[in-house]
Amino acid sequence: MSERTWVPVPEGSPFPVENLPLGIGARSGGRPTAWVAIGDDAVDLAAIDALGAFVDIELPDRCWSSGRLNEFLAAGPAVWSMVRAALGDLLTDRAAADRLARAIVSRADLVMGLPVAVGDFVDFYSSIHHATNVGRIFRPDAEPLLPNWRHLPVGYHGRSGTIVADGAEIRRPAGLRMVDGEPLYGPSRRLDIELEVGTIVGVGSDLGRPVTADRAGDHLYGLCLVNDWSARDIQAFEYQPLGPFLGKSFATSVSPWLVSFEALEPYRTTPPVQKPPVADHLRLDEPWAFDVTLEVLLQTSDMRARGQAAATISRTCFADMYWTPAQQFAHVTANGASSRPGDLLGSGTVSGPERGSEGSLIELTWNGERPIELPDGSTRTFLVDGDRVTLRGWAGGDGGPRLGLGEVTGTVVPNEEER
Strand partners, 396: 402
E-strand ranges in 239-338 read: 252-254, 259-260, 268-269, 289-290, 292-299, 311-317
**Most distant CA atoms of the chain, gap in Å:** 72
Instruction: Round to whole Å and give the CA distance between 383 and 365.
Output: 12
Residue type, 326: A
109: Cβ contacts below 8 Å, ≥ 6 apart: 27, 28
CB atoms within 10 A of CB 408: 26
- Give the H/E segment covering residue 195: strand 195-201
Instruction: Round to whole Å and give the CA distance between 216 and 33.
Output: 28
Instruction: Round to whole Å and give the CA distance between 24 and 119.
Output: 17
- Angle (CA) 102-72-403 rounded to 5° is 70
Instruction: Round to whole Å and give the CA distance between 137 and 132.
Output: 9
274: Cβ contacts below 8 Å, ≥ 6 apart: 150, 322
Instruction: Round to whole Å and give the CA distance between 138 and 389.
Output: 25
* C-alpha distances in Å from residue 81, one per residue of 67, 73, 88, 266, 345: 21, 11, 11, 15, 22
Does the annotation mark 130 as catalytic?
Answer: yes
Of 129, 130, 219, 331, catalytic? 130
Residue type, 239: Y
Bridge-based pairing of strands 121-124 and 344-346 is: parallel
Nearest Cα neighbor of 6 from 110, 108, 109, 99 is 99
Q: Which residues are catalytic?
A: 130
